[in-house]
Homo-oligomer: A and B are copies of this chain.
Amino acid sequence: MDICAYSYEEYLHMVKSFHGNLAPGLVIGGFMVDLAMRNLPEGEFFDAISETPVCLPDAVQILTPCTIGNGWLSIVPFGRFAVTLYDKYTGAGVRVYLDTKKLEAWPEVRDWYLKKKKKSEQDKDLLMAQIKEAGHGMLGVQKVQVDPEKVRRKKLGPVVFCPVCGEAYPSRDGDSCRNCQGETPYTNVIPVSVPKQ
């Protein structure tokens, strides 16, 4: 009942520390990454895909070398609860998903996943117990061939100075940076002086 190199309890501790709370999706995600690692094609380096931004990317970041900031983890917006690990050179990969057919045996997990109950109606203890009991048993596995170009972060390319804000930005974005083209989420921008260290 280990999750990658950790005991179940150690993994729960890491989830609390990194993610801030014991989210059910992150515990399931731990089993998913573990099962993917056990079915990994041969090869020295692998990259990861999470098909949802919710919870699952943190299981990948806790358990593998792949992070958002190093670019080895990509998030694709399919909204499916699935993770793929693949050889970064050949694209040979393994995809693990939450198999809703198998979830019939664990109704509290199914109802959580399919959002059949409001959060206030959920029995969190029962939910977590069923997740632990189900383990790999609620998951499906597929061998897949990944086209890395479709998921990998694009290089930012050459940078130039924005004529509006004065900061460096990727020249491919146009005559000014995307913030100054109107996408900014900021108002009332006021400079603050930085005291010398």
Contact = CB atoms under 8 A, between A and B. Distances in A.
A190 B114 contact: no
A58 B68 contact: yes
Total copies of this chain within the assembly: 2
B80 A177 contact: yes
A150 to B, nearest CB: 4
B142 A79 contact: no
Nearest to A156: B79
A94 interface: yes
Given A114-B159, A168-B113, A145 B187 contact: yes
A147 interface: yes
Interface in A138-167: 139-148, 150-151, 153, 156, 158-159, 161-162, 165-167
Interface string A15-43: 00011110100100000000100010000
Interface residues of A, number: 90
19 contacts: A18-B61, A20-B70, A23-B69, A49-B185, A51-B179, A77-B178, A79-B169, A80-B162, A82-B167, A93-B186, A94-B192, A98-B168, A100-B166, A135-B197, A136-B194, A141-B194, A143-B189, A144-B187, A147-B187
Interface of A: 1, 18-21, 23, 26, 35, 39, 49, 51-59, 61, 65, 67-72, 75-82, 84, 93-95, 97-98, 100-101, 113-115, 135-137, 139-148, 150-151, 153, 156, 158-159, 161-162, 165-170, 173, 177-179, 183, 185-194, 196-197
